Structure 1
């Protein structure tokens, strides 16, 4: 995700939860791992094994292969290339500006930034992020559906931010959103894009989207342009993702506040969501009036949702599923209970925000997307409370229950969901260190979440350390995990930390961590593959890489973990200035897709095309750096990671 944006977003001023504060002695125990449940208890399966089915786009069931990691670790190095283990090859598949493959509409990329907004709407967007594979013909042919999180307007336009105009805003809008591309494996084993493709599609920040669920049509969702409150133009800041067992893609709207210019003295609602004067970082409000939150205060309520997309139906409108709540959504990991109810785990990537769970009212039906069009429109949203004794509870965000009443500012269930942060404040959810990606182990049903970092933890006037977030000045982050006490729709759970990220060679105790294996910090992307290997991707700011606590980590990386033994091994080091994000595999696990986001990123996250691209020229080695999707295969054609 766009790192500095989440780091700036720190709007939780609620006083909860003092119940989770721990004494210094308890924190020392936490740092030694003393609170952690045993691996046998948490990961052994026991009565929980097999009680739910993880939604998987891979279509594979390779648990019998085992979790053991078999590749040689890649050394960390300052470099401007992609490094993978011996015996593996990484190739660029799909870059920013490449045509998505709409028949008869495939404009070529212009390396000088000269493409029009109309061109960009038919090309791969900027800053590739979360993605998923959907099989069309087993592992031979399928669809990659991927997010484009945000834009570096310095790279996007020929003259960068100079001469700002309506056309530049339209192009920036067109570079956001989602791409659907078709890929296939050739006879020689190479994976290539299919051009043209009847499935090819671009969804942008101007694409008509439908609002469904409890908030559809609510007064807080209505605007002058849409008095129905049911039709929104676009999806934006699409960060991580999810995929459903019925074959659809979930894209998550994260730091939407940065698109809206607010009032100098915002009301309490806008203030709680970080919408303020000077907050319109992208300057869209200068030519797109709907992003002026003073003139159109409800427009921002129409963003921050999980959006469902049917990748196999290019004519179907994206649907904003409001029953799952509004948040700076990072991702949405989906699984089924034994009875077939959908369960979705979601993190909210901002300092001191929350982890959520949604449980559907109804059960999944056979028949794919068509038979489950409203499954995510009805159910219960919960916020997580992580207690000091290693247990936790899911607190329901239900109107009329507990403090969620009219007297406290919630007129109905829709308002609870639109104001999910305020509701979670009142319920006493645990304020976390920037919850990012979530993922569910398909074998044990353990749920993982990356807490990427939070240097504000423990500062004067900000929340103290607690059991789940045990380090002050948390520059390195951690990965938390939990197991439900029963099926995935249980009301309580047990939790511990898989790992506290860090570097044991550092002098600062709070940055050492407890990693078994290759060191890393700022975990972000996270995915348990079908055979049970946990993949970890890092997102360290360009302004931080190679400095201070990251002195030994000059580049971002991707690692693999066997969670049964805790070993972590580095699989990939990315080019200079990039973030590693987005991960999926073909259904036979012989092709791995990974996204390289913002190679060459400047510390300000805005490039200047008048200056040489000093940090990176990847992947073209000339002109502007371009985010891109990699396809990684073993040279012997074997299964990735074994």
Structure 2
């Protein structure tokens, strides 16, 4: 996600440096090659967009009159958008359609565990307090019905699990953060403790009363905070690998904490996977020669919050200094950053369980993960985007088969990780990142001794090395560079896979890919949404067909299929920088934005889309300067939870001086289905 904060030093591009300098084919180049007609993006951008042409997809119907919907037989009426669209807004409040209500819920600082320390509006809560309170910068979330493990689908009680991506230091502390440069080169340890604790994940037991009001179930054993210091196991092929060895875990099997948790994914067996996205900025190294594991991600001598400078010798903070200091890796934290960059599995129904870092899914800037529908006796399949400019989209296929009675996280420890290549003709291939795969092994052999981007490539020691260096492996495989692939979603009726490509301000600039007038989106400021159908509608397939679902942009922006505009954006649905993406249980596609706050878009928003007709309507607008991120409903689709991150000023409480990230509960006044 594009990151914004009240601190001007924390803005893109420093937050998400471009670290892919390979010469792999860009997605923009592929789209240009497939172009049959160009349409003009009307307005100030004035750029040429590619139409989405040619080959009709087996799962992607474009006909407004297709009563049966896409392949899979869904009825168009199931996904009708029955609400009146809302206008853009620059007000510091949440806007929802007529006939709907919105209320804030579980804002940052809400006590949920321990001795339930109350939130203090003056910022004087301690680090210990924050370890027992809801974290900061709410992001991806999911609602687990309280009776899910028993086969139920309660819509009145459950576990709301959410990520806390990063922090606003100015709001977190009473007088803002103490800077090391002004404090003898150190930071107060309790400030650092509080910042670490404000990251991670919250598990919150919630229940709706007879009046329809949702409350936290205080005292519930399910309430839990997972932070940047929580003990975790390392699982999968990288478990025990030498490049994960630290003084904390000489065997390379454990680590502490999860950070920069962006999107997520519920598993078919009822657990929660949280994504570690831009984890690279939390670490600092003084080593002149940095390992490729750090170079390809941007770990350098400047950490984001200076946690390694806490005025203590406690190693839970010293570990953020990943310099070589001891005689071996077992005597320092030179490998600590290699224990980050994974999907982390949390069992919300087992509070005493230890989170598991699933290394088979690869190490990169995970935005989230999305699972294909699990089928009895078949492999588990999931997808993940690497949210940075010119990075890739991945798919994991498990080696072992899914059986509902015994399924668990072990299914994510063995399998094949693939990376996507989008071909000029609208087809695509999944390229295995596995040394046992003959094609990949041949490419690895051919690349040895050469420069792969900025890295002198000397081979991979083993499959664990491939996964710790997933980005480098994808470079070598020949994957297609993308414009910041973020959230994914799978249509529950057709199986089609959708991904947001949020934006890429460097696309077409000097020194970057595809500097030419015919490029579909030069200096892509507004983004688009791609979708594909796996061959034979089989998610384990190694090939697919793709198209573009919609180009984002201002009024008049067209998405063209077979020479005809299937979507022309207007005042009811202009948007930029699509980010969050989710299909509800009735098949509506919800699109959230994290882009420009300038006219004509104003505040960030959430829209609903009919995947069959491509009708899109604006449903929700957030307060000023926020990102609208994370959405889920109860199983009956009558209560919607939406997260608001980094709001401005004193939202949601005008009586307080500090902004508080919060969840917004949206319901229909008549008690009906949200969006219908």
State whether TM-score is above 0.5.
yes
1:80 is matched with which residue? 92
Q: 5 Å matches for 1:229-240?
A: 229-240=252-263
**Structure 2 equivalent of residue 302 of structure 1:** 339
**Counterpart selection for 1:221 from 223, 231, 244:** 244
- 1:205 and 2:205 matched: no
1:131 is aligned to 2:156: no
Return the alpha-carbon distance in structure 2 between the equivalents of residues 257 and 347 of structure 1: 16
Q: Distance in 1 between matches of 2:518 and 2:334?
A: 35
Taking the aligned partners of 2:387 and 2:135, their CA distance within structure 1 comes to 22
What is the CA-CA distance between 1:411 and the residue it aligns to? 0.7
Deviation at 1:213, TM superposition (A): 0.3
Q: Is the 8 A contact 2:580 2:592 kept in 1?
A: yes
3-state SS of 2:294 partner:
helix
Structure 1 residue 460: Cα displacement: 1.2
Deviation at 1:17, TM superposition (A): 2.2
Structure 2: gaps spanning 5 or more residues: 4-10, 39-48, 148-153, 180-186, 311-316, 325-332, 449-457, 559-566
Larger radius of gyration: 2
Residues 239-278 of structure 1 mapped to structure 2, 5 A cutoff: 239-263=262-286, 266-278=290-302
- Asked if 1:332 corresponds to 2:361, the answer is no
Q: In the aligned structure 1, how far is the partner of 2:584 from the partner of 2:137?
A: 23
How far apart are the structure 2 equivalents of 1:63 and 1:456?
41
Tell me the residue number matched to 1:292.
Answer: 321
CA contact (8 A) 2:398 2:411 kept: yes
Q: Distance in 1 between matches of 2:516 and 2:588?
A: 29
Match of 2:444 in 1: 404
Q: Counterpart of 1:345?
A: 383
After TM superposition, the structure 1 stretch with the greater mean CA deviation from structure 2, 238-247 or 40-49, is: 40-49
What pairs up with 1:179-190 in 2 under 5 angstroms?
179-190=202-213
Alpha-carbon distance in structure 2 between the residues aligned to 1:472 and 1:196: 54
Aligned to 2:60: 42
Residue 419 (structure 2) pairs with residue 383 (structure 1): yes
Aligned to 1:322: 359
1:67 matched residue in structure 2: 79
Q: 1:143 to 1:298 in 2, by over 3 A?
A: same
Deviations 1:447-494 (A, max 9, x none): 111110001001111111799983111000111111101210000000
Distance 2:85 2:27 in 1: 42
Cα distance in 1 for partners of 2:442, 2:275 equals 28
Corresponding residue for 1:93?
A: 105
Match of 1:607 in 2: none
Q: Report if the CA contact (8 A) 1:265-1:276 is conserved.
A: no
Does the alignment pair 1:515 with 2:572? Answer: no
Cα separation, partners in 2 of 1:311 and 1:64, compared to 1, 3 Å: farther
| 1:283 correspondence with 2:306 | yes
Structure 2 distance, partners of 1:587, 1:65, is 19
Deviates more, 1:387-396 or 1:41-50: 41-50
1:365, CA displacement in angstroms? 2.1
Deviations along 1:293-318, one digit per CA (max 9) or x if unpaired, are 22333111100000111110000011
**Matching of residue 12 in structure 1 with residue 20 in structure 2:** yes
Equivalent pair of 1:360/1:375 in contact (CA under 8 Å): yes
Matches of 2:481 and 2:381 in 1, distance apart? 22
* Alignment partners' CA distance in 2, 1:529 and 1:386: 27
- Contact kept in structure 1, 2:261 and 2:277, CA below 8 Å: yes
Mapped partners of 1:533, 1:419: distance in 2: 36
Q: Matched residues in 2 for 1:125 and 1:301: separation? A: 24
Equivalent position of 2:594 in the other structure: 539
In structure 2, the residue matched to 1:528 is 583
**CA offset digits 1:562-618 (Å, max 9, x no partner):** 111111101111011110001111111110000010101xxxxxxxxxxxxxx4432
- The change in CA–CA distance for 1:175 and 1:466 in structure 2 (over 3 A counts) is farther
What residue number does 1:55 align with?
A: none
Structure 2 residue 231 is the aligned partner of structure 1 residue 176 = no
| C-alpha distance in 1 between matches for 2:159 and 2:629 | 18
Tell me what 1:438 maps to.
488
The secondary structure found in structure 2 opposite 1:90 is strand
* CA drift at 1:152: 1.1
- What is the correspondence of 1:624-639 to structure 2 with a 5 Å cutoff? 624-639=658-673
Q: Could you say what secondary structure the match of 2:372 adopts?
A: strand
Residue 413 (structure 1) aligned with residue 463 (structure 2) = yes
| Offset of residue 46 of structure 1 | 9.4
Aligned residues: 600
Give the 3-state SS of the residue equivalent to 2:429 in structure 1: strand
Per the alignment, residue 554 of structure 2 pairs with 503
Out of 552, 555, 566, the position equivalent to 2:603 is 555
Structure 2 contact 486–502 (Cα < 8 Å) conserved: yes
Which of the residues 594, 612, 618 maps onto 1:570?
A: 618
Distance 1:626 1:20 in 2: 38
RMSD: 2.6
The alpha-carbon deviation at position 190 of structure 1 amounts to: 2.1
Q: What is the CA–CA distance in structure 1 between the aligned matches of 2:638 and 2:592, rounded to whole Å?
A: 19
Tell me the distance in 2 between the aligned counterparts of 1:468 and 1:152.
41
Match in the other structure for 1:54: none
CA contact (8 A) 1:182 1:194 kept: yes
Q: Which runs of 5+ in 1 are unaligned?
A: 51-61, 508-512, 601-614
Does 1:361 find its partner at 2:399?
A: yes
TM-score by length of 1: 0.89
**Shift, 1:620, TM fit:** 4.8
3-state SS of the aligned residue for 2:526?
coil
